[in-house]
Homo-oligomer: A and B are copies of this chain.
Amino acid sequence: MSQSPKPQRPTDPAKAAPSPKPSAPSARSSEPSRRSSEPSPRSSEPSPRSPEAPPPPVPTSADVARLAGVSRATVSYVLNNAAAVRISEPTRRKVREAAEELGYVPHAAARTLRAGHTRIVLLPTSHVPAGPLYSAFLDDLQWALRRLDYTVVQYGSLGLSGDQAARAWAELRPVAVISLGEIVLSARNVATLERAGAKAVITLGPVGVPGAHALVLDQGEVGAAAALHLVERGHRRIGVVVPEEPGLELFSAPRLAGARSVAGAEVEPVPLARTEESAGRLARRWRSLGLDAVYAYNDEYAMLLMRAFQDEGLRIPGDVAVIGADDLLLGRLLRPRLSTVRIQMPTGDYLAALVDRAVREGAEPAERHGLMAASAIPREST
A residues apposed to B, CB below 8 Å = 1-5, 7, 10-12, 15-20, 22, 31-35, 55-56, 58-59, 102-103, 105-110, 112-118, 125, 127-128, 130-132, 134-135, 138-139, 142-143, 146, 151-156, 158-159, 167-168, 170-173, 191-192, 195-197, 199, 274, 276, 300, 303-304, 307, 329-330, 332-333, 335, 362
Contacts and interface: CB of A to CB of B under 8 A. Distances in A.
A16 B12 contact: no
A114 B138 CA distance: 34
Contacts of A132: 130
12 contacts: A1-B16, A32-B114, A58-B196, A103-B191, A106-B171, A108-B173, A127-B135, A130-B135, A142-B158, A143-B159, A153-B154, A154-B154
Contacts of A105: 167, 170-171, 192, 195-196
B195 A58 contact: yes
A87 B335 CA distance: 71
A168 B105 CA distance: 9
A358 to B, nearest CB: 12
A231 to B, nearest CB: 28
Contacts of A116: 32-35
Given A153-B154, A303-B330, 8 more contacts: A2-B17, A7-B11, A105-B167, A109-B173, A139-B158, A153-B153, A154-B154, A304-B329
A132 B131 CA distance: 9
A10 B4 contact: yes
A158 B146 CA distance: 9
A281 to B, nearest CB: 15
Contacts of A12: 5
Given A15-B5, A18-B1, A32-B116, A127 B139 contact: yes
A154 B138 CA distance: 13
Contact of A4 (B16, B113, B128, B170): B16
Contact of A103 (B139, B195, B304): B195
A104 to B, nearest CB: 9
A116 B58 CA distance: 10
Given A113-B113, A362-B55, A16 B32 contact: no
A287 to B, nearest CB: 21
A32 B152 contact: no
Of listed A107, A114, A143, A156, residue having the most chain B CB within 10 A? A156
A127 B139 CA distance: 7
B192 A103 contact: yes
A58 B193 CA distance: 10
Nearest to A172: B108
B156 A333 contact: no
A363 to B, nearest CB: 12
